[in-house]
Amino acid sequence: MALKFYWYPNCGTCKKAKKWFDDHQIDYDAIHIVNETPSSDQIQNWINISELPAKKFFNTSGKKYRELNIKDKVNQLSEKEIADLLSSDGMLIKRPIVTDGENITVGFKEDSFEKVWK
């Protein structure tokens, strides 16, 4: 599976991740996370692959996250409910998300990109 790079072009962190891939000449398919918001099933699959808690997939610094007051609700939601909520609006999803179907990174940290994608 080709590397899928889910991003939001106006996001500074996404731009840094894109630059990292370009600098390391790593091919990827860039997917606009708002225009092509992942499905609930896709997000649940990512949660399983990542072994991260489902709530780690939220863009906690986003306006939408604050508007919906998700911080106070997230611990009462099931994994399925979280995936459903995330799939309802790409702006709720922490980005970038990069996956090859077996590995996944959520957000951009250069050391984790070095370890997983180089």
pTM: 0.94
Residue written as token pair 């860039």: 30
Residues 118, 24: contact at Cβ < 8 Å?
yes
pLDDT in tens, 54-88: 999 999 999 999 999 999 999 999 999 999 999 99
pLDDT in tens, 30-48: 999 999 999 999 999 999 9
Sequence-separated (6 or more) residues with CB below 8 Å from residue 113: 17, 20, 98, 105
- Domains defined for the chain, CATH in brackets: 4-117 (3.40.30.10)
